[in-house]
Amino acid sequence: MMPVLVWLCVPGLLVVLFSAAAPGQAHMFGSDDPLVSLAGGASHLLLNSSSSWVTLFFASWCGHCQHFKPSWMKLANNVKDWRPAVYLAVLDCGDESNSAACTNFGIQGYPTVKFFNAFSQSPSDGIKLSTRDPVDLRRSIIDGLEAQKESPPPACPPLEPISAPEVDQFFENNEESYLALIFENPMMYMGREVALDMVQYEGVSVRRVLKQQSDLVDKFQVSSFPSGYLLVRNGSIRKINLKESRAAFTKFLRSLPGVKKANTNLIGWSASTIIGEPIVKRTVNSSVVYMADLESSIHYSLRVEVARFTDLEGERLKALTSYVTVLKKYMIARPLLRTLLDSVYTWIIEQADTVVLYKDFADVLNNKNQVQNAVLAPHVNYVWCQGSEPQFRGFPCSVWTLFHLLTVRAAAVESDEKPYPLEVLHAMRDYVTYFFGCRECAQHFEQMASESMHSVRTLDGAIRWLWISHNRVNKRLAGQESDDPEFPKIQWPSKEHCPSCRRKLGNDTTWDGSEVLSFMKSRFSENNLSYEYLEDESVLLENQKTAAGIVRAKREAEGEAKKLETKSRNDTIDKPIKAKEENLDLVSKGKQNPRHRPIIIKMKSNNIFQGERVKEEKIVDLDSYESHIFPRRTLQDSNMHQNNLALQPERLLDPPDAEFDQVAVRERLLKRGIDPDYLIGVMAGNGEINWKGRWVKMLEVGFSRLDISLCVILYFLTSMCLLTMYLYLNLRTRFLRQRRWCPQA
């Protein structure tokens, strides 16, 4: 595991450089490298792109990422001419601003290299490349490009072997002046590498020919592999008599007359990712432990490291529970952080044996509901753990500091029941195993733990074991890429910090175990904590409330937008239904809908007007009352009627035998100018029903007199036709019977 608690051999106060990098800066790489920074636009660049992408997801603080950097840069410089067919990109997942993007692309450890085909649609389409060797990575890229047969990058040249007919007809079908053929064994990559080297050049095409293609091998009399031949448009053929190497082939082809570099627009390093804040100086006391480093470790571990896993269950959930438990029990925290740790602990204990979504855990961690005054710093604020450059020290340093403090605090707890000696060490081991981003660091730590952690028997023994393990890591990684030159890794504590911790045994120097233990307990005691450079908790709380209010307002706005969208969609769907309802309302109010053509009947009624009996005909709209009169309807009207009833169940029609106020009905019909006599009978002036002619009127309902006359005529004609047919068939039957029995001469 990367050593980061490094102590300068200078007593008292130290002045250290505190470099605050701008968000999105990939600290290990810069604009001069042939790379593309994905800070702020990973999905935009990697997905739906006409190019293939090979991306390194790393953390600037990860020692093994720094160790891998030279190999990655060697690859980047080796394939830089393959752009725009394929780009190499980097994304610093150690930067909090990139945390969400790395989670979206499923990055759970560093370094991770993924290959994205052209026109990839989803972050999950990335193919993980496990090798770290530059040559193997280059060949994996070629294999990935060649596998994209259906939708290859438009800029990618043909990588499959050329056939004899293609060679014969090449200049007829292409505009290039030259065709370079590279004969090689199937397992060789030179032909494809040279073809990709010429992506940015025009005038020549490079194709591969395999040793098994005997027709072309015999035609060109090839005897050694690899070999190269140059075909010119004028018909000449030339053997390339150069040293058979990729660089030699490429240099020769680029020097041919008429071959020139094309004007290609390439994606470069984003200018917004290379601007950093000025370096400032802080006065740091190397003899104390800074609370800012401890809170930074808790913030980063819970909000960045754990956040890489959207679902927390099984052993991973147990590891998180153990980590939160030791924080709650042994962390020396400010009041509002103490309240938050208690809240998080209570919540996560209740989630045992379940699947926890990280977003739910984050809501508790961020005190989303603001049920109490509790807050954790929302960003890192390294003091002693800040390196001379952003990629040095940082989070790993704070992790060591935090767990050193927890082991000392566990031993200092006064209670009737002493803590389990391995409680803190097991919590650290599980956290590193399941959450620590530097996976090779985690493997090294697990190896140390499996070798000797089981031998710890006491709480003091846990303090010693962690101190010994820390120095083992320092010794292994001293002088490597992850070693900060201004804070070199040494065996700690130094003589300046603890002169009595070392003692002479002859010519050798050894550690005094009891003195080291006393030093550790003194250094990580509550009295040795410094609260400098911390932002006031009340300010953090107000900022948290403001942020929560903004998030809440945003969610409410999104909810309102969704409601409006749903309402708009429902209104669009309901327009025909509402139109039908309006039609019914218009009819019920005596208003005529322009699209409504009423069924009319004419009826005679004898009304007395100014003492005279007047005969008149009334035109009546029966649609409003057809459900009472007609038991059958057309299919369209029936469906409309059922839809309206389904949407308005409260407007149920009365059953056929229901009683209703005849006088009230008559008054409503008279107001509408409709003769009510057609419905039940003729009502006398005194309100009594005159049943005379009721059945005749009921037979006439819905039909004019002309309609009835036509029906009678058709009925009469039909009867006469049937009678005629009957008489004809009867007479013919009699005739046939007489003829049958008539004797023949």
Question: Which residues have a catalytic role annotated?
Answer: 62, 65
Q: How many CA atoms lie within 13 A of 182 on its CB side?
A: 27
From the list 235, 237, 236, 239, the residue with the least C-alpha distance to 252 is 239
From the list 505, 402, 513, the residue with the least C-alpha distance to 468 is 513
In this structure, the number of other CB atoms found within 10 A of the CB of residue 142 comes to 18
Query: CA–CA separation, 245 vs 228, rounded Å?
Result: 10
Q: At what angle do helices 423-434 and 395-412 cross, to 10 degrees?
A: 160
Q: Are strands 36-37 and 86-92 parallel, antiparallel or unpaired?
A: parallel
Rg of the chain (C-alpha set): 46
Three-class secondary structure of residue 419 per DSSP: coil
From the list 591, 589, 616, 610, the residue with the least C-alpha distance to 677 is 616
Q: How many CA atoms lie within 13 A of 689 on its CB side?
A: 14
- Is-contact 621 614, C-beta < 8 A? no
Residue 6 one-letter amino acid: V
Q: List the structure tokens of 111.
A: 């370094």
Query: CA–CA separation, 450 vs 61, rounded Å?
Result: 25
Task: Return the biggest CA–CA distance within the chain.
Answer: 164
- Is-contact 448 469, C-beta < 8 A? yes
Three-class secondary structure of residue 180 per DSSP: strand
Query: CA–CA separation, 363 vs 351, rounded Å?
Result: 14
Q: List the structure tokens of 216.
A: 């072309």
Residues 6+ apart with CB under 8 A from 620: 600, 601, 603, 674, 675, 678
DSSP structural state of residue 505: E
Buried b (16+ CB within 10 A) or exposed e, 682-710: bbeeeeeeeeeeeeebeebeeeeeeeeee
Buried b (16+ CB within 10 A) or exposed e, 28-57: bbeeebbbbbbbbbbeebbbebebbbbbbb
